[in-house]
A and B are shown apart, each in its own frame.
Chain A
Amino acid sequence: MSSSTTQVDRRVFLKTGLAGATGLVLGFYLPGASTALADATAAPAAAAVLNAWVRVAPDDIVTIIISKSEMGQGVMTSLSMLAVEELECDWKNVRTEFAPADKVYIDPVFGMQGTGGSQSIHSGWEPMRRAGATAREMLIAAAAQKWGVAASECHAENGAVLHAATNRRATFGSLAEAASKLPVPADVKLKDPSQFRLIGKPTQRLDTPIKVNGRAGFGIDVRRPGMLHAVVLRCPVFGGKVASFDATKAKAVPGVKDVVQISSGIAVVADNTWNAMQGRNALAVKWDEGPNAALSSDTIRKQFGRKVKAADLNVNAVKAGRDYAAATLVKADPFAIERMDKNQGKIIIDGNSAFGRRGVSDFVGDAVETSKAMKAPVQVTWSREDDMQHDYYRPTSYIHLSAGLGADGWPVAFTARIACDSVMSWFFPGTITNGLDTSSTEGVSDIAYDIPNILVDYQLVKSPIPLGFWRSVGASQNGFFSESFIDELAAAAKKDPYEFRRHLLAKSPRHLAVLNLAAEKAGWGNPLPKGVYRGIAMLRSFSTYVAEVAEVAVDSSKGRLKVQRVVCAVDCGRPVNPAVIEQQVMGAVIYGLTAGLKSEITIDKGRVVQTNFDDNPVVRMNEAPVVEVHIIQSTEGPTGMGEPAVPPVTPAVCNAIFAATGKRIRRLPVRTQDWT
């Protein structure tokens, strides 16, 4: 056991790390300091804890603790790569375990333990490598002590410490116990990137095997002894509540155990989910629909549309004013359905999907309240209809854009008036200063094109619709706005849309590099088959640069449109796992196309009209384009890839539609009548 002095040192280190603004949040395991941590370290048996992220078992199995949720974005694999790059263990021996809730695992950028904002690799880059390096140094020190040699004469390689002079070798597993009792080195040297052996190599995901045999456990798969199943009937109108209800018929449904009112509605609890659903169908409820019962997409549209109609900026040049409307609303869409049981402690799930819906945890409240009422573990399942109608949606956003072109065709002024509902006011109202929610303006306010005069005006417009962090957030709609409008300006200037952008990005090398790469790989300017057209778009979001060229087959006479190929170029700093980057880009393109071309949430009588995938369709296999991904081999610090490939795809497609038809799409999702 370590001395008390050492323990104090570790504690100080931990606290110092957490107090620091960035970087060095390398918390170390303090025996007894945290029950959650102790719990997490319980299995596998006999593994020695080297720090909060690295455990080594006698059989050489290395467990990397993952402090982020695996939502399909590959973080389990990529974060492990960072630690293992420094640790120098055999990749085949790597296992992962999700972190419990603990201060040690607070994200240094967010200031809380959470996953989102395409942030995991960016914020994990330094701490995870440092965790691996620290563990390695402790293993080396243990070997040196054992052999009575200087640590500086030893090195770690492929899961063992070697002393070359005496040709001695000890596996990590044999050293781990001793290493865990040594002082934690105050500072460790990280590898020069030229020495990287894992980082930058396409690496297969660690979570694939359990996702091909049904063994991966999602929230909906949790089973507890005596667990009951519930579904909740919620008022279909936003802001409405239960006035009264009669549960007689619901309680008469076989298998139904009870019907209980909770904050979000009426929970029907049964022995299985199906019976709970049957009970819910039998409920008789009178709703108090509240103040929003007359709300409709039309009224929202008018409310937002009015806000951007105010006078334009006066520019002494050609004016090209345009109104755009983003998809009124797009659902945020979790696929796995969450649950929580009465023993609120720790439930580790292998996976979930997110795309934004998990920024909210209302489903936890449903389960906790129902479990308390039933005095038993209760799994609450959200049906697709529940989710479709009670989601936290991408906000309505309207914009009026105008620009002045000089005599030479290059823009001299650019103005944007944005009227957008505020996502941040639902989550972090404190971040809104002077009425500015920057998530409503990102993607326009940071426009990269070199235009001498830029004015972006914004009005926070409130509607009662719940809002969430839809994948890529404000950049999703604002990328459509700005990249469509730039295309309009290129057309007004009678210039090629790629060359127009290129000229205006001359002073922005990273933007320019992805633009050039996408255009080159897509064969911009080369002839295309008859009926196929190209569009291009580029946006930086979440500090990652993405350009995409879409090839779209357009047949106006038949109203047919097929996105055939999307060529993507990304600069996310130093690529950590190119295989996962490629997957994220492919997925983001499909995700963006669904919102751009297909899915729309509309409101009527204060409620969501759509219910399931029949009236809220998504892109399927037969509509999925070929996606090509090209990655800039950057040496900058890595940035995220979960979201940034979403924003460019819709404007790229819309710009291709313009190339085909001369019709400019100014509203999402794209409707056939807008281009035929």
Chain B
Amino acid sequence: MVIRFTLNGKSQSVDVNPSMPLLWVLRDTLNMTGTKFGCGMALCGCCTVHINGEAMRSCVMPISAVGGKKVTTIEGLSADHGHPVQQAWIEMDVPQCGYCQSGQIMSAAGLLAKEPNPTDDDIDDAMQNICRCGTYQNIRKAIHRAAELQAAAPAPGAGGNTEASPSASGTVTGGAE
């Protein structure tokens, strides 16, 4: 079955089993391996992507449910680490092994899009992603730092960003929407 959706700002069609989760379409069909497989049950958050701007677990999202929607993966979050979350992650040196970090970053970016100035409780609620290296403390710091960076420069990073800006203007870049 052919399913069409927008992937990182570009139209994409795939001809796969409609029950196949988006995760495996990304990883195995499209060879976009930045999104990771962790648990397959939406428990760990490794596979988090944005669907219509919302952080979602791709490992349990059948591709049939993605038809016509806009999907952003870690590869499309920004060009050249431009997203405030990525900048903060670099500044705070967050990753250790790095395996869960695509998902952590997508969850954090989803949080900041909704809540530009999150409290620690907001972070606890939104960041249900597992990190076995235990980078939580630095993730928390980096989210607060990303909020500052985002406030200082509301427009998202350099070209290629495919998501709606969290700024009040609602400007959309990169062909999304």
Give A contacts to B, CB under 8 Å. 70-74, 204-205, 207-218, 220-221, 223, 229, 254-255, 271-275, 333, 335-337, 350-355, 381, 383-384, 579, 583, 586-591, 612-614, 618-622, 624, 626-627
Contacts and interface: CB of A to CB of B under 8 A. Distances in A.
B148 interface: no
14 contacts: A72-B133, A214-B102, A216-B98, A220-B33, A223-B31, A272-B20, A274-B17, A274-B21, A336-B36, A336-B99, A381-B37, A586-B135, A612-B43, A619-B134
A216 B81 CA distance: 13
A384 B44 CA distance: 10
- Tell me what chain B mostly uses at the interface: helix, strand, loop, or mixed: loop
Given A211-B101, A255-B17, A624 B137 contact: yes
Contact of B105 (A204, A212, A626): A212
A215 B73 CA distance: 12
Nearest to A622: B124
A335 B17 contact: no
Contacts of A214: 32-35, 73-75, 102
A229 B38 contact: no
Given A208-B90, A621-B123, 13 more contacts: A72-B97, A205-B93, A209-B90, A211-B101, A213-B74, A220-B36, A274-B20, A336-B36, A352-B97, A383-B40, A583-B135, A618-B132, A620-B128
Contacts of B137: 586, 624, 626-627
B106 to A, nearest CB: 10
Interface string B17-41: 1001100100111011111111111
A586 B34 CA distance: 25
Contact of A620 (B17, B37, B75, B130): B130
Contact of B75 (A209, A213, A587, A627): A213
Please indicate which of the listed interface residues A74, A215, A384 has the most CB atoms of chain B within 10 Å of its own CB.
A384
A384 B135 contact: no
B52 interface: no
B124 A208 contact: no
Interface in B65-104: 73-75, 77-78, 81, 86, 89-90, 93-102
A58 B165 CA distance: 43
Given A255-B17, A384-B40, A335 B99 contact: yes
A352 B96 CA distance: 10
B99 A621 contact: no
Nearest to A216: B98
A618 B97 contact: no
A72 B94 CA distance: 10
Contacts of A618: 130, 132
A217 B140 contact: no
B93 A583 contact: yes
B100 A335 contact: yes
A212 B135 contact: no
Contacts of A579: 93
Contacts of B129: 620-621
Nearest to B142: A212
Given A208-B89, A214-B35, A353-B133, A72 B96 contact: yes
A220 B97 CA distance: 14
B17 A586 contact: no
Given A353-B132, A613-B130, A212 B86 contact: yes
Given A272-B29, A586-B137, A614-B43, A355 B81 contact: no
Contacts of B74: 213-214
A208 B95 contact: yes
Contacts of A274: 17, 20-21, 24, 28
